[in-house]
């Protein structure tokens, strides 16, 4: 056997890093118009294909993290040396499950990850509805199992270095996220879950962020995934999308220069300017692109190996939590609507303060973005959604998930019709390996999807 800490480390790191690499950025990141994938990542142009790696890698993450409960510390729920470690591993696992089902919808869940002695060759797909119910239950159980006097993971725990108070906060925040995600699909459960979570300690500042440190002086496996995207990826796939750049420019967002690189030609001409490429362009439009007229991510921060301090890779941020709290407050779930603006502002300030922006004073001409004054509830949600969208730059899965849930910011699909007749995809496509090897259960799950296993079918909670 092996020290379970080694397993936890890998799961934390791989799960957090996986959403910021070149491919997710150019597929999911293009769909939500952070990045402009272009012709090389054809899924960015809505040409449908299976998301084999995404699917396979998430189940591999689950295989590893679940070894802690199915083998390494199996049955030691009452042992102080193992009890809290089991709970923490379970919480990490739940966060991975949530992302998996959020991206695909129904996935095999209850019949899998039961340990190496009980592997099911063909697990059936559970509905997302059922998965959410179980995840919330399991999370409650795990949270109640965290005992302050127990052994923890110490240095192996990238998020909190074994700090159990922080684990409690993270667990509650995860519960808040689970509850909020299903608000348009199961309002009652959402309200109950969110309200409960709001009553518990949540992430309180950026120092509570669940994050994996990165190391720029080491191999490319240790650098921030967005930096890895730059170092190891293709020069053709480093361009940002027009809507993101326009949003930052138009709102005079102080993050602009730290997130976006002025175009090569504008710099040459002595008039540095920021411009993003349109997404999902047609062949005809692609021919009109001269790359030097467009912006990449900033080569002084994200795309800079010399940038110091290295940017931590976020799994969940205080800012995330603030935006959920604002939304909850608007619904009167565990907070009152008048508290929403404050939560929202906390969220934006926390986002600005994140490395590499490190902005602690909100510039005057950006203040207006922090105000809810005179806005309808939907407009407030739009503000929350938009700021969340910017804050989630580099976390392409989470950004895609939250954009679908909230419906904000309003994004206009690119002109290429692709496989979706010009719709922005709403989900990822089951792996071809799963299709071949678990056919019966796959077929059954596909039947439950409105448009089959396609980009245009929506997952259960995607009602808005």
Partner 1 sequence: RETFAQELLQQRITIKADEQSVKAVLTKIEKLTSVKFLYSPSLIKSERKVNLNAVNEPLSKVLESLLSPLQVSYEVAGKQVILKQEPLPQPVEKKASVSHEPFAIEQPITGIITDAKGEILAGVSVLVKGTNRGTSTNGEGKYSLVAQPSETLVFSFVGYIKKEIVVGNQTEINLVLNEDTQTLGEVVVTALGIKRDKRALGYSIQEINGESLAQAKEANVATSLAGKIAGVQVTRAGNGAGGSSRVVIRGANSLVGNSQPLYVIDGIPMDNSNVNSPSRWGGIDYGDGISNINPEDIESMSVLKGPNAAALYGQRGSNGVILITTKSGKSRKGVGIKYGIDYSVGDALVLPDFQDEYGQGLDGTFTHFRGNDGKIYTWAAAKAANIQGIPKMSGGRDRFTRASWGAKMEGQQYEDQWGNVLSLTPQPNTFQTFFNKERQMANNISLEGGNDNVNYRLSFGNTKIDGYTPGNTLNRNNISLRTIAKLTPKLDLDVKANYIGQRGNNRPTVSDAADNPAYLWISQPRSIPMSILENSTWTAEDVSKQLGYGTTPFIGLEKTYATNSSTANPYWTRDHTRNSDDRQRLIGLIKLSYQFNDWIRLTAKTGTDFYTDQRLRYREKGTYQSQNRNGDIIEEVTRVREDNSDVLLSLTPELSKDFSLSLNLGANHQKFYARTTGNTGTEFIAPNLYSINNTLINSYVFNLSESSINSVYAAGSVGFRDYLFVDFSARNDWSSTLSPANNSFFYPAVSGSLVVTDALNLQNSTLSFLKVRASWAQAGSSGSPYQLTGNYALDQTPHGGQPLGSFTSIIPDPNLKNELTTSLELGLEARFFKNRLGLTFAYYDASTKNQILNIPLPPSSTFTSRRINAGEIRNHGIELSLTGTPVRTETGFSWDATFNFSRNRNQVVELAEGVSTFLLGDDRNVQVIATPGKPFGTIIGNGFQWLRDDKGNRLIDPTTGLPLKTNAKLLYEIGSALPNWIGGFNNTFRYKGFSLSGLMDVSQGGKIFSQSLREELVFGTIKKTLPGRDGSYVADGVVAQKNADGTWTSTGQTNTKQVRAQDYWNVIAPDKDNVVSEEMLNDASYIMFRELTFNYQLPSKIISKTPFRNIRAGVYGRNLFYLQRKTDGYAPEASSFNVNNSSLGLESTSLPLLRYFGFSLNLEL
Residues of span 277-316 touching partner 1 by CB under 8 A:
283, 286-292, 296, 299, 305
Enumerate residues 235-264 that contact partner 1 by CB under 8 A: 235-236, 238, 264
Does 13 bind partner 1 (CB under 8 A)? Our answer is yes
> Which CB sits closer to partner 1, 5 or 179?
5
**N-to-C CA span, the chain:** 47
Minimum CB distance to partner 1, residue 213 (Å): 6
Q: Is 37 helix (H, G, I), strand (E, B) or coil?
A: coil
Task: Taking the CA atoms of 98, 104, 106 and 108 in sequence, report the sign of the dihedral they define.
Answer: negative
Enumerate residues 163-202 that contact partner 1 by CB under 8 A: none
Q: Kindly report whether the peptide bond that precedes residue 356 is cis, defined as omega within 30 degrees of 0.
A: yes
Minimum CB distance to partner 1, residue 441 (Å): 8
C-alpha 389/C-alpha 246 separation (Å) is 13
Minimum CB distance to partner 1, residue 275 (Å): 14
> Which CB sits closer to partner 1, 207 or 421?
421
Does 437 bind partner 1 (CB under 8 A)? Our answer is yes
User: What single string gives the DSSP state of each residue in 343-359?
Assistant: HHHHHHHHHHHSTTT--
Out of 127, 163, 222, 266, the residue judged to bind partner 1 by CB under 8 A = 222
Segment contacting partner 1 (CB under 8 A): 107-115, 180-188, 330-338, 383-391? 107-115
Minimum CB distance to partner 1, residue 206 (Å): 19
Does 215 bind partner 1 (CB under 8 A)? Our answer is yes
Minimum CB distance to partner 1, residue 246 (Å): 21
> Which CB sits closer to partner 1, 3 or 338?
3
Q: Is 81 helix (H, G, I), strand (E, B) or coil?
A: coil
Minimum CB distance to partner 1, residue 176 (Å): 27
> In 10 A of CB 287, how many CB atoms?
8
C-alpha 206/C-alpha 326 separation (Å) is 17
Enumerate residues 39-78 that contact partner 1 by CB under 8 A: 39-40, 42, 47-50, 55-56, 59-60, 62-64, 66-67, 71
C-alpha 304/C-alpha 229 separation (Å) is 11
Minimum CB distance to partner 1, residue 454 (Å): 7
Q: Kindly report whether the peptide bond that precedes residue 309 is cis, defined as omega within 30 degrees of 0.
A: yes
Segment contacting partner 1 (CB under 8 A): 105-113, 139-147, 352-360, 376-384? 105-113
Contact between residue 278 and residue 45 where contact means Cβ atoms under 8 Å apart: no
Residue 106, class by beta-carbon neighbours within 10 Å (0-12 exposed, 13-18 middle, 19+ buried)?
A: buried
> In 10 A of CB 386, how many CB atoms?
18
Task: Taking the CA atoms of 377, 187, 126 and 177 in sequence, report the sign of the dihedral they define.
Answer: positive
C-alpha 45/C-alpha 27 separation (Å) is 9
> Which CB sits closer to partner 1, 41 or 185?
41
Out of 431, 449, 457, 462, the residue judged to bind partner 1 by CB under 8 A = 431
């Amino acid at each position: 056997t092996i020290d379970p800490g080694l397993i936890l480390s890998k799961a934390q790191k791989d799960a957090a890093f996986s959403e910021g690499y070149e491919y997710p950025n150019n597929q999911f990141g293009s769909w939500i118009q952070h990045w402009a994938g272009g012709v090389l990542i054809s899924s960015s142009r809505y040409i449908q294909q299976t998301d084999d790696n995404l699917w396979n890698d998430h189940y591999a993450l689950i295989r590893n993290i679940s070894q802690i409960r199915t083998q390494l510390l199996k049955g030691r729920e009452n042992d102080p040396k193992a009890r809290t470690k089991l709970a923490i591993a379970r919480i990490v696992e739940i966060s991975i499950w949530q992302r998996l089902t959020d991206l695909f919808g129904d996935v095999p869940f209850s019949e899998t990850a039961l340990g190496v002695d009980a592997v099911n060759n063909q697990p059936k797909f559970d509905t997302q509805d059922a998965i959410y119910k179980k995840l919330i239950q399991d999370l409650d159980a795990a949270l109640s199992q965290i005992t302050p006097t127990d052994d923890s993971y110490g240095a192996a725990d990238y998020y909190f270095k074994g700090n159990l108070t922080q684990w409690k906060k993270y667990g509650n925040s995860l519960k808040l996220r689970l509850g909020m995600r299903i608000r348009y699909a199961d309002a009652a459960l959402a309200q109950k879950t969110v309200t409960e979570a709001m009553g518990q300690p949540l992430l309180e500042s950026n120092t509570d962020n669940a994050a994996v440190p990165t190391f720029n002086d080491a191999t490319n496996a240790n650098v921030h995934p967005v930096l890895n995207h730059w170092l190891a990826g293709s020069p053709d796939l480093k361009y940002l999308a027009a809507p993101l750049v326009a949003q930052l420019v138009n709102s005079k967002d102080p993050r602009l220069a730290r997130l976006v690189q002025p175009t090569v030609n504008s710099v040459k001409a002595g008039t540095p300017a920021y411009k993003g490429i349109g997404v999902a362009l047609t062949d005809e439009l692609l021919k009109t692109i001269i790359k030097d007229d467009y912006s990449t991510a900033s080569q002084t921060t994200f795309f800079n190996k010399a940038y110091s301090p290295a940017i931590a890779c976020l799994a969940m941020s205080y800012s995330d939590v603030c935006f959920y709290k604002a939304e909850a407050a608007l619904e009167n779930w565990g907070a009152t609507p008048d508290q929403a603006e404050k939560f929202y502002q906390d969220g934006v300030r926390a986002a600005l303060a994140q490395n590499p922006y490190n902005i602690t004073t909100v510039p005057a001409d950006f203040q207006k973005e922090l105000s809810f004054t005179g806005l309808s509830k939907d407009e407030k949600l739009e503000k929350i959604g938009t700021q969340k969208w910017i804050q989630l730059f580099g976390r392409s899965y989470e950004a895609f998930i939250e954009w679908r849930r909230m419906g904000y910011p309003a994004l206009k699909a690119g002109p290429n019709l692709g496989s979706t007749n010009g719709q922005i995809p709403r989900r990822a496509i089951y792996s071809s390996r799963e299709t071949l090897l678990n056919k019966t259960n796959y077929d059954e799950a596909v039947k439950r999807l409105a448009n089959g296993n396609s980009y245009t079918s929506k997952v259960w909670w995607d009602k808005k």
